[in-house]
Structure 1
């Protein structure tokens, strides 16, 4: 809880010092956030497809690894948003 209070205080001080972000910077952050989610998702998809192709298992690995990639991307995005 102490860490969260310090983080909130630091954010408040930075906002008072720097002010609001520009539109360009906000758009850049949205773009980064998208890539943080998409890259692990596509990585899981491609890895699952490659394994399925090698083992001739249909989509046995593609589906679960797609979901794992999406979860990793979502968790990474959540962590990135909460450290900013």
Structure 2
């Protein structure tokens, strides 16, 4: 596993009232959710990035009210057998 150092201001730790390891976990989770929503990471890779199981990651998505499945209008129409012009 690769290790990446991220510098954050001390004021962030104070504002969040969290220890550095807690902020690191939050940053990993936030990045995983962002990349999952963008379609850059699969759910499996996003969960791995957040250091969670898929079930834990799904639970976190639900807790944060993040859509698990994203379907756009053309995909939905195709699935329903509709033809759009």
Q: Same fold (TM over 0.5)?
A: no
Return the TM-score normalized by structure 2: 0.30
Higher relative contact order (CA 8 A, sep 6+): 1
Structure with the higher helix share, 1 or 2: 1
Return the TM-score normalized by structure 1: 0.30
Larger Rg: 1
